[in-house]
Chains A and B, each alone.
Chain A
């Protein structure tokens, strides 16, 4: 009975080619490591731990390149997964993010972690989850993708299994993550209960009509969903797991959590609120604006006190989430583009910061801020790159942080949220203080030894690319902004399309 109806759906499996590549690649990496890896017990012909990382990066890049095939398309897989410019942008973005994380991992994993095959496979699987979150046009698909991303990251966060901090961070991350998933799921069930659909566009249709008789349940569902997503992106009342997970996780995984998990969360947040909940914007605008202010305030103020660089970056990333939430509170086509642009700038910058920290950690095994004293003397290039990235995070002109923040704040001001933009500017100034503390330590501190560090060419190459990206977005954001505008236009167009269909009869 069910089957004939289902065959009318569009099962174009080739639309999911990037995800198939990622999954197949992940499986191949596990098998490679299992049969020919460093722990397989072979005398000859073994594959070391390091090349696996480069192989994984190649897989992530391959998936990103294949997804370019659908630029400008408006396809849909089985009414569940959209393949349009929005999806394509995020597929490329997530693929490249994971590739950088893999390259940065290669030496770290070789020196400090066991089971490299599974490690890289999990990174690739987390990209599949992230892709799904950006692509889903329906709540349950989004939820499953969210879980795939989170589960991969729970395991990865506790990957350094002989380090108690890693275990603690991973466990906290998992328990709070499971809790937030339950909250999100409850929100989904309430919204489904009152609107009768899990498809974003269909929900939007229902909400456009008279909703006075379903107010209570709807608002409860909406609040629960904001709470669940807030956990995933670490907005303030729901941020408790972040510092511990960031500090405990192996460094490249901290980078991955802060880049991939956060941006995937916002990809879903933006798409969901544009396509499904835009008609109710007056109900949730101030709720999200309040979250945004709390997040900015707490993240930036607590970051001042931190001694450990990873914890500092955890709180700074919470602060950045505050800015990003501003784009949701002021939801319009312009602010959506500004939000995605700021996210891209933030992720590129943050990856640059983390690559610097990983290189330094590979040399010294230290991650306190005071350990960075005199780095400028021992590794001038590293100190320069880290300073550029930190200045960009603080939002100094010339660098990505300034251009993207400027556009974001402006778009918020246009939507009558000038006060919010003012608060954000204030906290940007606050953030400058703790970023400068690190720069000060590096350039003015006295190094414990004076020997130069060896030069890791490959990592420096990746780092140069990222810093070039930071400068490019900072000086000439137009091409990136155009690409982002193209992609966010598709999710707003989807809203109008469904409106046109409903008005026709």
Chain B
């Protein structure tokens, strides 16, 4: 059983080596063969043909990140609620209480964030 277990990996090994050789070969060939004539205009950031405004690097407020995390609560809730709703009748009472417990845990997280003032946009 196991001699096969590792025998099968030969194919993976060959594919991996081949992949590295092909990609590496293409990159190196490009490096050697391509003509290079850099000018200032060529180095400018390209955005739909318009001139870019300001610097490329801007700071985003940390708040967005917290909102994204909070969104995750509802996301996960939806992901689990749909399959739950489909099999709800087969399983019965237990499913109901388990989902109540699950939502209570998620609600705890939301209440925590709310009280900590994460939802206030200042």
Which residues of chain A are within 8 angstroms of B116 by Cβ–Cβ distance?
A: 34
Give the residue among B1, B2, B3, B90 with the most A Cβ atoms within 10 A: B2
Contact check, A216 vs B112: say whether CB atoms are below 8 A apart.
no
Which residues of chain A are within 8 angstroms of B6 by Cβ–Cβ distance?
A: 216-217
Which residues of chain B are within 8 angstroms of A34 by Cβ–Cβ distance?
A: 112, 115-116
State the CA gap A194–B3 with chains docked (Å): 12
Decide if A27 is an interface residue (CB 8 Å cutoff): yes
Interface size class of A (residues with CB under 8 A): 10 to 19
Which residues of chain A are within 8 angstroms of B3 by Cβ–Cβ distance?
A: 213
Decide if A30 is an interface residue (CB 8 Å cutoff): yes
State the CA gap A216–B8 with chains docked (Å): 14
Q: Within residues 199 to 228 of chain A, which ones have a CB less than 8 A from any CB in chain B?
A: 213-217
Which residues of chain A are within 8 angstroms of B115 by Cβ–Cβ distance?
A: 34-35
Given A34-B115, A34-B116, A35-B115, A3 contacting B2 (CB threshold 8 A): no
**Which applies to chain A's interface (DSSP): helix, strand, loop or mixed?**
helix
Mask, B1-29, CB within 8 Å of A = 1, is 11101100000000000000000000000
State the CA gap A284–B92 with chains docked (Å): 48
Q: B115 — nearest CB in chain A belongs to which residue?
A: A34
State the CA gap A34–B118 with chains docked (Å): 13
Measured between C-beta atoms, what is the minimum distance from A208 to chain B in Å? 17
Which residues of chain A are within 8 angstroms of B91 by Cβ–Cβ distance?
A: 3
**Which applies to chain B's interface (DSSP): helix, strand, loop or mixed?**
helix
Contact check, A194 vs B90: say whether CB atoms are below 8 A apart.
no
Decide if B108 is an interface residue (CB 8 Å cutoff): yes
Which residues of chain A are within 8 angstroms of B90 by Cβ–Cβ distance?
A: 3
Number of interface residues of B (CB under 8 A): 11
State the CA gap A193–B91 with chains docked (Å): 32
Q: Within residues 63 to 115 of chain B, which ones have a CB less than 8 A from any CB in chain A?
A: 90-91, 108, 112, 115
Q: A218 — nearest CB in chain B belongs to which residue?
A: B2
State the CA gap A419–B9 with chains docked (Å): 41
Contact check, A215 vs B112: say whether CB atoms are below 8 A apart.
no
Contact of B2 among A27, A30, A194 (CB under 8 A): A194
Q: A7 — nearest CB in chain B belongs to which residue?
A: B94
Contact of B108 among A27, A194, A213 (CB under 8 A): A27
Mask, A19-58, CB within 8 Å of B = 1, is 0000000010010001100000000000000000000000
Measured between C-beta atoms, what is the minimum distance from B115 to chain A in Å? 5
Contact check, B112 vs A213: say whether CB atoms are below 8 A apart.
no
Which residues of chain B are within 8 angstroms of A3 by Cβ–Cβ distance?
A: 90-91
State the CA gap A194–B2 with chains docked (Å): 8
Q: A4 — nearest CB in chain B belongs to which residue?
A: B90
Mask, A186-206, CB within 8 Å of B = 1, is 000000011000000000000
State the CA gap A410–B114 with chains docked (Å): 58
Q: B6 — nearest CB in chain A belongs to which residue?
A: A216
Q: A34 — nearest CB in chain B belongs to which residue?
A: B115
Contact check, B112 vs A30: say whether CB atoms are below 8 A apart.
yes
State the CA gap A3–B92 with chains docked (Å): 11
State the CA gap A30–B5 with chains docked (Å): 50
State the CA gap A30–B105 with chains docked (Å): 13
Mask, A151-179, CB within 8 Å of B = 1, is 00000000000000000000000000000
Q: A39 — nearest CB in chain B belongs to which residue?
A: B116
Measured between C-beta atoms, what is the minimum distance from B58 to chain A in Å? 25
State the CA gap A217–B3 with chains docked (Å): 10
What 10 additional pairs, Cβ within 8 angstroms, besides A3-B91, A27-B108, A213-B1? A3-B90, A34-B112, A34-B115, A34-B116, A193-B5, A214-B2, A214-B5, A216-B5, A216-B6, A217-B5
Q: Can you list 20 residue pairs at the A/B interface with Cβ under 8 Å?
A: A3-B91, A30-B112, A34-B112, A34-B115, A34-B116, A35-B115, A193-B5, A194-B5, A213-B1, A213-B2, A213-B3, A214-B2, A214-B5, A215-B2, A216-B2, A216-B5, A216-B6, A217-B2, A217-B5, A217-B6
Hey, which bits of chain A sit against chain B, CB under 8 A? Answer: 3, 27, 30, 34-35, 193-194, 213-217
7 shortest interchain CB distances as A-B pairs: A214-B2, A34-B115, A213-B2, A217-B5, A213-B1, A217-B2, A216-B6
